[in-house]
Amino acid sequence: MGWFPDLPDPRDYTPDHKEVRRLLARLKSDKSGQKSVPASVDLRGEDDAPSAFFSAVADQQTLNCSAVCAVLGLVEYFERRVRGRAFEGSILCLYKMARKLRRTSGDCGVDLRTTLKSLRRFGAVPYDLWYTDAERFDDVAEDASLICAGFALAYQDACYVRLDARGLAYFAKSSKQNVPVPLADDNLCHSLGSQTLRNVKSFLAAGFPVAFGFSVPKSLSTESRILYRPTFDSIRGGQAVLAVGYDDEKDTSPKGAILIRNSWGETWGDAGYGWLPYAYIERQFATDCWTLLKKDWIDPGELSLPSVLVPEISV
């Protein structure tokens, strides 16, 4: 597992940030300005190549590096879909650099924001230069930064965008010290969660996968459909995953679910993919929703303008 929630930060880029709007201004809406999204989306590939945009699902083994797997999945998707370039990044390298950025050591896990920040600062080393070995994950020379030096420039112009509605308005009632306000109001919690879900679906429908974390219920099994039963379940821990689609009619309980790419290998779920009910996001058991923007990834032929941004951007 290894995911834990990011603390709110007013500096996070959100969909309405001027830099985000500038990058997305090249894209056109698929719906002629309408705010609707399709009932289902699957970003794994085209009809004739259903797994074209991703390699085999990673197996984090016993390591707490799920956030790293989710972020590298984001990179792999854009490199394959937009640039037509096969890419498989080193999980251990980015995990090492993210923990270095947090000034931590050991298999302690890492949050998504720090992982994205590490990608931008240190780049993504190819897997064949730093392979995954759970038993030797921290046996790296002190000059680890030198290994990344040749790849550091590749993602320095990347922009990571937070889609959580809580992230957009969390500081409205905070003190001058930016102390987070607890979401004690259940109606407010659901309202913000529902807006987050709309943001996530909007970006997915436009072709942008979304990395996020969720509280793993004790009832989780190897089945692809994850149960939502908060009254009966305790929490095992936190897991970061990559949202690669959704289906409003998915027969989960409640109905409707996000298609997730996990990092527990292909023996879990449906070849490593599963379905997380919308209720997890709506009730904020799933948070920290991030996507990546990069100038040479913004291809109008492959991506479109997220519907939640249609009124805000004029080209």
Convert the pLDDT of each residue in 261-274 to its tens digit: 999 999 999 999 99
Residue 38, pLDDT above cutoff 50: yes
Six token digits for residue 140: 């790296």
Q: Which residues contact 173 (CB under 8 A, 6 or more apart)?
A: 181
Stretch 124-151: mean pLDDT, rounded? 65
Question: Is residue 11 in some structural domain?
Answer: no
In a domain, 115, yes or no: yes
Q: Establish whether the linkage from the previous residue to 217 is cis, with ω within 30° of 0.
A: no
Q: Which residue has the higher pLDDT, 41 or 50?
A: 41
Q: Given this model, what pLDDT does residue 153 score?
A: 77
pLDDT of 48? 63
* pLDDT given for residue 8 in this prediction: 79
Q: What's the predicted TM-score (pTM) here?
A: 0.89
Q: Is residue 6 part of a domain?
A: no
Q: Decide if 309 is inside a domain.
A: no
30 vs 183: which has the higher pLDDT: 30
Domain count, the chain: 1
| pLDDT value at residue 143 | 53
Count CA within 13 A, CB hemisphere, residue 265.
7
Q: Is residue 13 part of a domain?
A: no
Residue of 250, 304, 308, 298 whose CA lies nearest to 277? 250
Average pLDDT over residues 102-111: 92
Q: What is the mean pLDDT of the chain?
A: 85
Query: By residue range, what is the domain housing residue 85?
Result: 18-292
CATH code, 207: 3.90.70.10
303 lies in a domain? no
Least-confidence region, from 123-127, 199-203, 223-227:
123-127
Residue 5 domain flag: no
- pLDDT, residue 277, reads 97
Whether residue 300 lies inside any domain: the answer is: no
